[in-house]
Amino acid sequence: MGKIDVVKHILRNANHGQFVNGSGGFAWAPSNVALCKYWGKRDSELNLPVTSSLSISLGNKGSFTKVKQEGDVDRYILNGAIVGPETNFAKRLKIFLDLFRPFGVHYFIDINSNVPIAAGFASSACGFASLVLALNKLYDWNLDKKDLSILARLGSGSACRSIFEGFVEWQCGDDFNGMDSYAVKLDYIWPELRIGMLVISTQEKSISSRDAMWHTVNTSPLYPSWPKQVAEDLIHLKAALEDKDFSLFGEVAENNAIAMHIVMQAAQPAVVYSLPETMEAIAKVQKMRAEGVPVFFTQDAGPNLQLLFLGQHEAAVLRSFPELELVLPFADSKVKQIVLVDENDVEIGVSEKLAAHIQGRLHRAFSVIILRERDGKVETLLQQRSAIKYHSANLWSNACCGHPMPGESIVTAAERRLREEMGFGVSLKEIGDFTYRAKLINVDLIENEFDHVLVGFSDLEEIPFSISEVQDYRWIEVSELQQELKDYPEKYTVWLPPVVDLLVRKYLQL
């Protein structure tokens, strides 16, 4: 079987394998980092691995991908910029899309990713996984996760793991056609686990993982020892997850990464991804450990590192690595269940967040307003949403907004999101609520929210916001904001005017 036969086989029952043009498909997939790596293929056409591997998905680090049938040529956008057909990125995407291309069809693909592209942070993993999920929605195939994982694998091996959140195992399988080679979600949950992305270089890597794998398998005299190493590491990693034994977990993950790089470095000629700065950072990690802070690293096919540590050591690790991009794999906000409500805010069920926004179903939400007093005037804190947000990107809005998880109180959820987005915690008080429905600009999503509005105070001079959520902030006097909303509505989110209105009427009583 070639790739196209695998696709045909999987789609044979899916909506009769039809490519019926829906209005557009839109999906999110997290990036993932392998704790026990996939290195080496037994079939390079189908991306079938020599060994199984185990990964953790990276919470809110990943890609949103939108796909539509459109025009007479394919058009690709990556993080807001057009990608020319001559680039490697476009060529790779086109080859993959050809597997899903009825005669005469062209695609418009819009990918927004918050992981550095091609720098060894598995941007292709979340890219291909979100593309497959988006195609599944566009064509209404309703495939199960196993089939989605197999399709994502055809784009990039590690993409098959990005179909899931949390800990994931890619079972290598032994079928020639790879129909038993897909990822499964492991049930371990470890909310205290932290991952720190340490960006050492965002340059495109010198050699792609595909070429480096091939070269290692074929020329490294150490490669025959790799499958045995992986088999042992998988057993120990699962034991560590079972017992939440962080030292064992970190040691096995770190040793597995070191072993992979040693096997590559023994290839002829050697494949070397580490830069001098990588080695310096590794030495720093080892020194911290010697001083009693349990922090470990893993390294993919690139110079960057991912640090592994627990919440209780977050402050110590961030002090030593202030530039670290922190990931909370079990607490981040993108793929979440949200609470569906009726017009009286009575719970009627739960739904996956994106699905609820696509269907425009009424759900529970909150908006946080942070105030301070300056020279006798009341000022409010605004955030500018990050450029990679899946909706309302770059727009200015109130201090933070979000959705409570099922079972979570409004105040707890709002205080949690304020910490996650703006980096500070204050106690919040609910001042009222309102319901609104609006089609979002630039995406096929509908906000339909029962919105609880909460107020808190802060005098912080600097707001330590999270760059994956927010790009800027400013304080503005409330009456000035009211005027701005009238003069420049296009700069603000659709829900900000009713939030400000409620603040003024019910709280400030102006």
Q: Exposed e or buried b for every residue in 300-313, given b needs 16+ CB within 10 A?
A: bbbbbbbbbbbeeb
Q: In angstroms, rounded to a whole number, what is the distance separating the alpha carbons of residues 61 and 63?
A: 7
Asked whether 446 and 360 are in contact (CB, 8 A), the reply is yes
300 binds ligand PMV (CB under 6 A): yes
53 binds ligand PMV (CB under 6 A): yes
Q: In angstroms, rounded to a whole number, what is the distance separating the alpha carbons of residues 378 and 373?
A: 5
Helix (H, G, I), strand (E, B) or coil at 396: strand
368, with CB counted inside 10 A (0-12, 13-18, 19+), is buried
Edge-to-edge strand list for the sheet holding 193-198? 296-298, 305-310, 193-198, 325-327
Instruction: Output the smallest distance, CB 51 to ligand PMV, in A.
Output: 10
Name the one range near ligand PMV by CB under 6 A: 37-45, 70-78, 96-104, 195-203: 37-45
Choice from 94, 145, 210, 506 touching ligand PMV (CB under 6 A): 210
Choice from 10, 27, 29, 34 touching ligand PMV (CB under 6 A): 34
Residue 503 corresponds to which amino acid? Answer: L
**Which residue, 213 or 470, is less far from ligand PMV as judged by CB?**
213
Instruction: Output the smallest distance, CB 180 to ligand PMV, in A.
Output: 18
66 binds ligand PMV (CB under 6 A): no
Number of residues that this document lists for the chain: 510
Asked whether 79 and 387 are in contact (CB, 8 A), the reply is yes
- Supply the DSSP string of 342-357, one letter for each residue: -TT--EEEEEEHHHHH
- For strands 75-78 and 107-113, give the pairing: parallel
Judge if the upstream peptide bond of residue 269 is cis by omega within 30 degrees of 0. yes
Residues 147-176: x where in contact with ligand PMV by CB under 6 A, - otherwise, as a string: ---------xxx------------------
Residues 251-290: x where in contact with ligand PMV by CB under 6 A, - otherwise, as a string: ----------------------------------------
Instruction: Output the smallest distance, CB 98 to ligand PMV, in A.
Output: 19
**Which residue, 301 or 494, is less far from ligand PMV as judged by CB?**
301
37 binds ligand PMV (CB under 6 A): yes
List, in order, residues 6 or more apart from 461 with CB less than 8 Å away. none
209 binds ligand PMV (CB under 6 A): yes
SS (H, E, C) 222-288: CHHHHHHHHHHHHHHHHHHHHHCCHHHHHHHHHHHHHHHHHHHHCCCCCCCCCCHHHHHHHHHHHHH
Residues 104-123: x where in contact with ligand PMV by CB under 6 A, - otherwise, as a string: ------------------x-
Q: What is the CA radius of gyration of the chain?
A: 24
127 binds ligand PMV (CB under 6 A): no
Name the one range near ligand PMV by CB under 6 A: 22-30, 34-42, 325-333, 391-399: 34-42
Instruction: Output the smallest distance, CB 368 to ligand PMV, in A.
Output: 37
**Which residue, 308 or 418, is less far from ligand PMV as judged by CB?**
308
Q: According to CB under 6 A, which residues from 350 to 369 bind ligand PMV?
A: none
128 binds ligand PMV (CB under 6 A): no
301 binds ligand PMV (CB under 6 A): yes
Choice from 3, 28, 29, 38 touching ligand PMV (CB under 6 A): 38
Q: In angstroms, rounded to a whole number, what is the distance separating the alpha carbons of residues 120 and 200?
A: 11
Asked whether 336 and 403 are in contact (CB, 8 A), the reply is yes
494 binds ligand PMV (CB under 6 A): no
Would you give the end-to-end CA distance of the chain in angstroms? Answer: 71
**Which residue, 207 or 478, is less far from ligand PMV as judged by CB?**
207
Which DSSP letter does residue 20 get? Answer: -
**Which residue, 53 or 136, is less far from ligand PMV as judged by CB?**
53
380 binds ligand PMV (CB under 6 A): no
Instruction: Output the smallest distance, CB 35 to ligand PMV, in A.
Output: 9
**Which residue, 228 or 491, is less far from ligand PMV as judged by CB?**
228
52 binds ligand PMV (CB under 6 A): no
**Which residue, 38 or 100, is less far from ligand PMV as judged by CB?**
38
Asked whether 371 and 499 are in contact (CB, 8 A), the reply is no
**Which residue, 138 or 230, is less far from ligand PMV as judged by CB?**
230
Q: List contacts with ligand PMV (CB under 6 A).
A: 34, 37-39, 53, 122, 124, 156-158, 209-210, 300-301
